[in-house]
Structure 1
Amino acid sequence: MSSNPHPHPEIDPNDPPELLSHSTLPHDVAVPERSMVEESTVTGVTFTPELWMQRRHWALDVLRKEGVRSILDIGCGPGSLLETLVVPPTTIYEPPILSSQASSDEEDDLLQGRDLFIRRLGGLDASPSVITSALKTLTPPTNSTIPRWEPLTTELWLGGIEKYNSKLEGYEAIVLLEVVEHLDPDVLNRFGVVTFGTYRPQLLLVTTPNFDFNAKFPRAEEHDFAKKGFVDPTGRTDRVFRHSDHKLEMTSAEFRGWAEAEAANWGYDVEVSGVGLSSHPSYYPSDDPSQPGQPIYASQTAIFRLATGLPLRSPRSVRTVELPFMPNSGESSHSHKLAGRFIHPANAPGDGKRTSQNEVITTVKECYQNWNIDEVSVDELWGVHEVSGRCAGSKRYLVSVLGGFGDCTAMHGAGDEFEVKKERGRGLRVKWKYFKSG
């Protein structure tokens, strides 16, 4: 992904804005209420994997494909997505190893399964009850044995999405999973101004419930969903929502209209789809009788990508930086409070320098002899810290030393003793041609 147009803001842990007092946070974290659509006893539908997991997998797949290096999770809750994003990548920042003539499907599979190479990770939530849990997720672990090849900066903020915070600029990607439906109308009206207009991420991901799906429950009439659901608290509609805190549940057409309007306003392209096909799927009828209908997803998704065009609207009104005609309107006026900011240091094995080809091969041979086997996977070799340390975190270097594969060119003289091959369902494997059982 291309570099972000915003300069990376200087992060000075010694000069934070208002620091949140942890003693004021609730000690008992309430269990989040489940949406009605995820209660199979009410709806008669099930999701495999579970709906929340499908949403998370969708977001992770998009983030991997886009290759982002910094991510802000708005409405992060107790840190469900953050706990995945904070896991160190297994290698240094480098492209995946592709076959010489890799198909587009193979490339997609590799990109979906590749690591996320994140340098900066942040979370924001308006609820004090979830901050303690999210803070634990973003705090560096003590005595971790998992290698981290480059430092990671994490930060967590308490505050609303409608407030501008200059410290949150510079993120390449912003993610909002099941958030916009919880926003009051006046807050939702400022959503685009703050996120698209001011923070200007290259990528913004949104998921939100699809109201069309509610009427498709096999037991909707049997259980009288109108009594088990929650009447629109804003009074704008007579709709019955899935969750007691929802302020808005959009139909597919409404969501597409909203997403396309936001994209047009702020100079973005948008791709609308969904996740969450249930055990009893339903479909929108096709305009063409000869074509299949479109699935009715439980959650709607939107991928916003920054386009080259300029925004049609000005975000000036949201900024709180001091302006000549706005005296005393500096950073201190925003209501966000910093719960914590941390540096996860690099702790990878080795000294950060690649050793010679012969030294790597010697270490690899020792693994084969210790395991008394003539063929192992690249991942098994990589799990030996002495091997990955000698390669300075580059799995491509290891493969090139052992003979190369695909777009990973063999080093001079490599391939005499080892053969790297790919097996369906087993990934890259390395055979020592002259192995002798001990």
Structure 2
Amino acid sequence: MASTSDIDTPESPELLAHSSLPKDVSQPEVSMVEESTVTGVTFTPELWMQRRHWALDVIRKEGVRSVLDIGCGPGSLLETLVIPPSTIAEPPIRSDQISSDGQANLNGEQEIFIQRLGGLDVSTSVIASALKTLSPPSASTNNASTIPRWEPLTTELWLGGIEKYNAKLEGFEAIVLLEVVEHLDPDVLNRFGVVTFGTYRPKLMLVTTPNFDFNAKFPRAEEHDFAKKGFVDPTGRTDRVFRHSDHKLEMTSAEFRAWAEAEAANWGYDVEVSGVGVSSQPSYYPSDDPSQPGQPIFASQTAIFRLATGLPLRSPRSVRTVELPFMPGSGQSSHTHKLAGKFVHTISAPGDGKKHPPHEVIQAVRECFERWNIDEVSLDELWGVHEVSGRCAGSKRHLVGSIGGYGDCPSLLGIDTEFEVTSQSAKGLSVKWKGFSPAKEEVKKEKVWGQSIQDIDNTRSAETGGW
């Protein structure tokens, strides 16, 4: 349900009237790079999916707990981040075996554990879709098939521009901008660093933007006369032809790197520049060394900004709203940002929220094996049984520790149990019941046509002496 605790105070931006949102949402414009009939190239998976996968992968590896998606659109990234993880926030179970690279083998991919999730977009046409994405499931859908949520999640959605400071958007560990900066007017882009790096100061900032170098590398660029199908720089600063009608800037690889490194140095960040989107017919930058292959030309450029410990070239300055004595109405109440909704996704998981003793967990596991009449199942299949995961209070490490331990997750009993956790190469972890004995199936009596069941029983009794 929506929370009003943050929208009733005088300092809070106005709550957006949902009745003002457009009823019919038009399909977003597709950039020329992603229109294969124009460029003659395709992307597998699609380019927008590659950008989203890149962002999710970085968020997962960095262990981020709160994310603000600026320029969230209809909610492509949000719809993935809002999905509950399968466990409580805990480290993955690692093998105690050392691989050839000297690292402990990882069993099971680390999940993303988000506690706070926010979206911001300037377009009213996408707010309704994003709002639906961030809203908790309705009571009618909250049934046994719903994915358990072991920890609460707070979500919020805002309508407004990136250049405007919003006190309610502080405190996010990570800020993500997927294909956003190229849509910003020059004056807004100049304010970008002050608001994001200088004021919000997230630990992590993820940015993607089109690579102008890619535009000229289309196999059919000349054949289709891309200059006529593209869009001339509307700012008049260059004679470049862009991919999208709303783009105000498309940087080359060298320009993007220079911009990213300058922003990082200005505000005290380290930056890692790369890209995503190698087409089905890739092109390459020539290598400085003729004996070495060239670097692929990515369709989208990426930058990972990490907050550094060194001093920035510019003093981090704030654009926080300050209420001056002679301006009593200058607080957040007059802010141009509108709050579309703020929600709390409450815990909806089986069990009583407490980790049960190992012997009770073992009992639940044993009942599963007996019911399935099998000697081995994957750990994930076992975890999917609510009687098991509920007794572990959402901790898969507690389950593994209860039934004997594995890798960096030691046995909670300190002794061997009737179960054993093993690694099945690409299949992940499995649980084997060492004491398994197949249950005998009940012998069904065969009816002979023309003979009653009573007669069959009498005949068998005579043959077996009554046994």
Counterpart in 1 of 2:163? 162
Q: Secondary structure at the match of 1:425?
A: helix
Alignment of structure 1 residues 389-408 onto 2, 5 Å: 389-408=390-409
Question: Could you say what the CA RMSD is over the residues aligned between the two structures, in angstroms?
Answer: 1.9
Indicate the structure (1 or 2) with the bigger Cα radius of gyration. 2
Distance 1:84 1:109 in 2: 23
Alignment of structure 1 residues 134-213 onto 2, 5 Å: 134-142=130-138, 143-144=141-142, 145-213=146-214
Instruction: Please give the per-residue CA displacement for 1:186-210, whole angstroms capped at 9, x wherever unaligned.
Output: 1111110000000000000000000
Counterpart in 2 of 1:230? 231
Q: Does 1:98 align with 2:99?
A: no
CA displacement at 1:107 relative to structure 2? 6.7
Alignment partner for residue 48 of structure 1, among 44, 50, 55?
44
Q: Secondary structure at the match of 2:53?
A: helix
Counterpart in 2 of 1:379? 380
Distance 2:379 2:5 in 1: 37
Counterpart in 2 of 1:356? 357
Q: 8 Å contact 1:69–1:172 — kept in the other structure?
A: yes
Q: 8 Å contact 1:37–1:242 — kept in the other structure?
A: yes
Counterpart in 1 of 2:458? none
Counterpart in 1 of 2:218? 217
Q: 1:17 to 1:334 in 2, by over 3 A?
A: closer
Gaps of 5+ in 1: 1-9
CA displacement at 1:57 relative to structure 2? 0.5
Distance 1:105 1:62 in 2: 22
Q: Does 1:124 align with 2:125?
A: no
CA displacement at 1:285 relative to structure 2? 1.1
- Residue 383 of structure 1 aligns with an amino acid whose one-letter code is G
Counterpart in 1 of 2:445? none
Q: Secondary structure at the match of 1:279?
A: coil
CA displacement at 1:414 relative to structure 2? 4.5
Counterpart in 1 of 2:61? 65
CA displacement at 1:329 relative to structure 2? 2.9
Q: 1:315 to 1:331 in 2, by over 3 A?
A: farther
CA displacement at 1:24 relative to structure 2? 0.8
- Residue 12 of structure 1 aligns with an amino acid whose one-letter code is D
Q: Does 1:313 align with 2:309?
A: no
Q: Does 1:25 align with 2:26?
A: no
- Alignment length, in residue pairs? 428
Instruction: Please give the per-residue CA displacement for 1:204-258, whole angstroms capped at 9, x wherever unaligned.
Output: 0000000001111111111111111111111111111111111111000000000
Q: 1:300 to 1:67 in 2, by over 3 A?
A: same
Counterpart in 2 of 1:7? none
Q: 8 Å contact 2:93–2:397 — kept in the other structure?
A: yes
Q: Secondary structure at the match of 2:422?
A: strand
Distance 1:337 1:314 in 2: 30
Distance 2:102 2:39 in 1: 35
TM-score (norm 2): 0.88
Counterpart in 1 of 2:447? none
Q: Secondary structure at the match of 1:157?
A: strand
Instruction: Please give the per-residue CA displacement for 1:251-298, whole angstroms capped at 9, x wherever unaligned.
Output: 000000000000011000000000001111111111122222111100
Q: 1:11 to 1:88 in 2, by over 3 A?
A: farther
CA displacement at 1:370 relative to structure 2? 1.6
Q: 1:396 to 1:22 in 2, by over 3 A?
A: same
Distance 2:269 2:423 in 1: 39
TM-score (norm 1): 0.94
Instruction: Please give the per-residue CA displacement for 1:354-406, whole angstroms capped at 9, x wherever unaligned.
Output: 11111111111111122221110110011111110000100001011121111
Q: Secondary structure at the match of 2:15?
A: coil
Q: 1:100 to 1:271 in 2, by over 3 A?
A: same
Q: 8 Å contact 1:320–1:333 — kept in the other structure?
A: no
